[in-house]
A and B are shown apart, each in its own frame.
Chain A
């Protein structure tokens, strides 16, 4: 019943990370070496054409983004809890479905509260 696995089974993933990182590093290094560089004042501006940029980009922005992000994290954690259930779906059977659905229903109450409070509505 118990699955077995060793950390060595993750070696292909480590290899994939190394190849991905190596590819990006190599191409970036080569393009910096091979390509000509002509830096002029106009080319280094944030927007080369169009409206002249004014002021500073580092302005504090609305707390609404943060609310959306925090709600995303909460539902993210909920989905994480469903992952071990999905792997064991057949073994757990009907009791497992009942357990997970009671979990989800409690969070759906929160989702209803969120909709009722119009927490995801942007304009107010």
Chain B
């Protein structure tokens, strides 16, 4: 089909959808809708991971990001008071500052990506390291220490969440 393989077609469609939904996140006025579009964006990115043969990452991305982190986002939105009358009106100066900051970020990104076409990227073909079984083998042999440290990280996050979020019971 037009000289493209089916993988290239899928990549194109997924990229288009991901960028579309990402733009919708920014342009919708309702914050709840933004979060829902962000979920769709994450699904598209999970599709990209599948195309890269990183299947474990794809599933984890859907379960943790689209499933759990987005619930947290929704909760944060609902924790805030978003009534029409209490929503703060943005002043002109804050809009100008936001535009300048966003423009600078775009400038930096474009500058960082300039010249990347000259990079020699090694093509390894279909690597199977992203499959669950191979990844488990590597994780439990070569990367055992980081794996155990991850539990300390989770423990710290747990203690921190309880310390901040829980009132002391007398």
Cβ A7 vs Cβ B51 within 8 A: yes
Residues of B near A84 (CB, < 8 A) are 56, 132-133, 135-136, 139-140
Cβ B144 vs Cβ A73 within 8 A: no
List 5 additional contacts besides A2-B128, A7-B55, A83-B136; criterion CB under 8 Å.
A56-B83, A61-B78, A69-B72, A84-B136, A99-B147
A49 beta carbon closer than 8 Å to chain B: no
**Subset of 5 A-B contacts with CB under 8 Å:** A56-B83, A71-B162, A76-B68, A84-B140, A106-B151
| A59-106 contacts to B (CB < 8 Å) | 59-61, 63-67, 69-74, 76-78, 80-81, 83-85, 87-88, 91-92, 95-96, 99, 102-104, 106
A32 beta carbon closer than 8 Å to chain B: no
B82 beta carbon closer than 8 Å to chain A: yes
Interface residues of A (CB under 8 A from B): 1-7, 10, 56, 58-61, 63-67, 69-74, 76-78, 80-81, 83-85, 87-88, 91-92, 95-96, 99, 102-104, 106-107, 109-110, 113-114, 117-119, 124
B112 beta carbon closer than 8 Å to chain A: no
Residues of B near A5 (CB, < 8 A) are 53, 55, 128, 131
Cβ A71 vs Cβ B82 within 8 A: no
Cβ B81 vs Cβ A60 within 8 A: yes
